[in-house]
């Protein structure tokens, strides 16, 4: 362990943001957030956005873990 305060990795990481992920899946980001806000089920969202339930589950999990933006940092 480095004793001068610097770590092995940089104090930030970059995980793809939710708007990028929804865009890649062909899902309107604002509508996706609205569906989460309205507590739509996985099945309802899958039907609404015409993607698999696994895709919706993955996007929801990402949202719950990282939020909307995924740039994390620290000092």
Residue 10 confidence (pLDDT): 57
Residue 12 CB: number of other CB atoms within 10 A? 10
CA-only gyration radius of the chain, Å: 16
User: Structural domain boundaries of the chain?
Assistant: 14-68
pLDDT band at 2 (very low <50, low <70, confident <90, very high): very low
Taking only the tens place, the pLDDT of each residue in 17-55 is 899 999 999 999 999 999 999 999 999 999 999 999 999
Q: Tell me if 51 sits within 8 A of 2, measured CB to CB.
A: no
- Rounded to a whole number, what is the distance in angstroms from the first to the last CA of the chain? 17
pLDDT at residue 70, rounded to an integer: 57
> Looking at per-residue confidence, does 67 or 37 come out higher?
37
């Amino acid at each position: 362990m480095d004793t001068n305060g610097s770590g092995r990795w940089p104090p930030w990481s970059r995980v793809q943001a939710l708007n990028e992920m929804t865009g890649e899946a062909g899902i309107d980001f604002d509508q996706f957030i609205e569906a989460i806000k309205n507590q739509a089920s996985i099945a309802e969202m899958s039907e609404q956005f015409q993607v698999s339930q696994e895709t919706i589950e993955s996007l929801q999990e990402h949202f719950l873990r990282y939020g909307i933006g995924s740039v994390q940092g620290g000092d």
